[in-house]
Amino acid sequence: MMTDMDKPARGLVTALLLALGIQAQADTCAQDIQHGVALAQSDRSVMSLLDSHADASQASPLIQYSQQSSSINKPILGNYARLRLAAMALRDGDTTFAREQLSQIEQNSPAAVDAALLLAESYRRDGNEEQARAWLLRTAARFPGNPRAVSGLVLAGDDWRNQGAYAQALPLYNLALNKAAENLKALNELEANPDRLYRTMTNTVAGNSTTVMDQLVLAMVRDEDSQVLPATRKLMTANDRLRCLREEEKSLNNAIQHATARDLSNGAFRTAAKMEKAATEQEIDDLQRIIANAPNATDLKAQLVDAQERLQRLDARLNQLGSTALPAHLAARKDAMESRKAELDKDMNTARQQVRVALAEELPEMKRYYRNLAGEAQLGKAQLLQGQKTASTLVGFK
């Protein structure tokens, strides 16, 4: 069997459901939104089955869920339910039922790569080696970052070599070597720049493992001992909060620009009023000094009263025009925005550090897998060339 469907799948499936749940809530920007996975009882039952080893008693509830469930989580769980049914059918030798289930798994489902590999296995068990190899090649072409898909190339090459079809086997071994080398290069680049992983963590965890980075994420999520799942949750939630914060920031900036534009339109009036106020204050000071030395100057006293009334009108006008400072309510919103940005940045850095730790633990294992895969392909190629040489020697003796 070329899949690991008998292994516990809760971590992976939970991560996929979590991603879908957060994407579904991403259109709402309510404050302090709590992201979670809403699971009906039927969903929980199916996840419990998928989290345990395959057993014949699982068939009936899995079929019932696949055919009758109306859960919003069925796009994920239904495909995995059919995958489990197909794996059990193949184990029992029922290739027809297995292919029937596999044909109903969506091509863009995260389960698609395992479905393709099981289809190849079903044809191999039926003795249809040509169709089996075709599916292995198709799977490797579509999912070049999936190690099991690439290993299918080596298996197909081995099949051709064992049948003496050297011309057909050699390109498969070479393709497997190229794929392994490309993926090892990608892993080395990722090791040097781990920040590239975050976009995959937040955007494609619910997608297919088409690249080696996607596959690495899925491998990390499957590790129950790592902190990748909670870190992914934090990153997804932080990204959602960041999107909402940017929308709110646009609204705030528009309000600030409006206030600034209004302030600029009043700027010329404010400047003229301030100049007139300064002149009026100077006039009042001069009149008060003169009147102090000529207390009977009635005309000057009238001028003083007029200047004082004019100053009051200027102060009222300046108050009406407002100050150049940002309005208090906008200043408060701006300060709160900066505070939330800082908090969000702290949360994202914490989550990224958890991802870096998990990445450092997972990368060596995946690199070792691809090196071993390349070694198997190289060994098969060497045996192929040796077989060709031996065959040529035998022909020469005849």
pLDDT in tens, 27-69: 556 544 444 555 788 888 888 888 788 888 989 999 998 888 8
Residue 375 has what pLDDT? 94
pTM: 0.61
| DSSP-based three-state secondary structure for 72 | coil
DSSP secondary structure code for residue 170 in this structure: H
- Residue 98 confidence (pLDDT): 95
**Stronger pLDDT, 10 or 308, i.e. the higher one:** 308
Instruction: Report the distance separating Cα 377 and Cα 151, nearest Å.
Output: 9
Tell me: pLDDT of 87 over 60: yes
Give the position of tokens 């099981």: 118
What does the block give as tokens for 216?
């690495």
Query: Which residue type does 273 have?
Result: A
- Mean pLDDT across the chain, nearest whole number? 79
Looking at per-residue pLDDT, the higher value among 59 and 298 belongs to: 59
Question: Cα separations (Å) of 366 from 4, 180, 187, 231, 266?
Answer: 16, 11, 8, 20, 66
**Which pLDDT value is given to residue 355?**
78
The stretches of 37-165 forming alpha helices (DSSP H) are 41-50, 59-68, 74-91, 95-102, 112-125, 129-142, 147-162
- What confidence score (pLDDT) does residue 13 get? 58
